[in-house]
Structure 1
């Protein structure tokens, strides 16, 4: 088991929304990823680690417009809409056009544990952005996913991003090894 000592951590759950999870193409290892993200949240809540849950908001008339059924978080996750910090974004980076950076700094957060959707878009963007902003990034390697593309199967995309992000932009950890 990998032991890690966290310095003022927070969990960043990205785009775990009904429409992104169930809409369109099938998410790779969907039920396992959903369960792993849920387990990350259970561990964070039990340890009183701050959770920042973001949902992507599409323009009015889009499948994930604000307030729509598809825009909602996956109910199985147990995101605490009162206790967790919930916010919206319109770009891949959670930092672009939001006050996430100010909120993290105000709470003294030094490490971000990242999980959610989709690997090659928002997970990749946020690992890189958070690292460049000076945060220690921990990517939960089995708690993010995407769907197959015309060029690559999702399993290859996920493995590639885990390998690419590991070291320079993030450290990897498995859900079962995450301890606060």
Structure 2
């Protein structure tokens, strides 16, 4: 079975946001690099996905210069880099075409944010017929405010609110939702042997 490692949104944009101080996995770069090195050693396709919001004026606006991999991650020559404008990596890109051309049947998913772009890509990939592996310890997320919380609160206020979902709660919920339905849950160690 041909496999592709999909590295989703591990980009500088996220480090420029105030909530990066509460990120679940500040060591995501070494974890992703271990997966990348293993994929390259196996001859698997590595696809880099970046999120872009052109004209938004946010850290995801390419005009501001943050829509690139976080320092320490580097696509190799010939590895596709696709830019998406939706939550999943399929809808607004040519990802499915790339995977088809390379005969890929299995996806290994890592990146930022665990419950958003990574989980959504996993679900869509599964629905498209790919065997999917979700590598939780090579994903990262941030605490999520309650949906009716007041806008503009500081990170300290968000973290102090008992209705805020912690990163541990988010990660557990994602694993429960995906496991056995959309993906096999795996660790970096399980996939790389180290």
TM-score normalised by L of structure 2: 0.83
Deviation at 1:22, TM superposition (A): 4.2
Q: What CA distance in whole angstroms lies between the structure 2 residues aligned with 1:23 and 1:108?
A: 37
Q: What CA distance in whole angstroms lies between the structure 2 residues aligned with 1:146 and 1:34?
A: 13
> 2:130 matched to 1:117?
no
1:135 to 107, 120, 130: 130
Partner in structure 1 of residue 59 of structure 2? 63
Is the 2:107–2:130 contact (alpha carbons within 8 Å) kept by the matching residues of 1? Answer: yes
Deviation at 1:164, TM superposition (A): 1.4
Partner in structure 1 of residue 177 of structure 2? 164
> 2:89 matched to 1:94?
yes
3-state DSSP of counterpart to 2:18: coil
Is the 1:17–1:70 contact (alpha carbons within 8 Å) kept by the matching residues of 2? Answer: yes
**Unaligned segments of structure 1, at least 5 residues:** 1-6
Deviation at 1:35, TM superposition (A): 1.5
Partner in structure 2 of residue 175 of structure 1? 188
**Unaligned segments of structure 2, at least 5 residues:** 146-163
Deviation at 1:79, TM superposition (A): 2.3
Q: What CA distance in whole angstroms lies between the structure 2 residues aligned with 1:85 and 1:29?
A: 25
> 2:42 matched to 1:75?
no
Partner in structure 2 of residue 24 of structure 1? 18
Is the 1:41–1:79 contact (alpha carbons within 8 Å) kept by the matching residues of 2? Answer: no
RMSD: 1.5
Partner in structure 1 of residue 155 of structure 2? none
Partner in structure 2 of residue 37 of structure 1? 32
Q: What CA distance in whole angstroms lies between the structure 1 residues aligned with 2:122 and 2:63?
A: 27
Deviation at 1:99, TM superposition (A): 1.1
Deviates most, 100-109 or 58-67: 58-67
Partner in structure 2 of residue 106 of structure 1? 101
> 2:24 matched to 1:11?
no
Aligned length: 172
Q: What CA distance in whole angstroms lies between the structure 2 residues aligned with 1:163 and 1:144?
A: 15
Is the 1:53–1:84 contact (alpha carbons within 8 Å) kept by the matching residues of 2? Answer: yes
3-state DSSP of counterpart to 1:126: helix
TM-score normalised by L of structure 1: 0.89
Partner in structure 2 of residue 3 of structure 1? none
**Moved segments of 4+, more than 6 Å:** none
Q: What CA distance in whole angstroms lies between the structure 2 residues aligned with 1:93 and 1:152?
A: 22
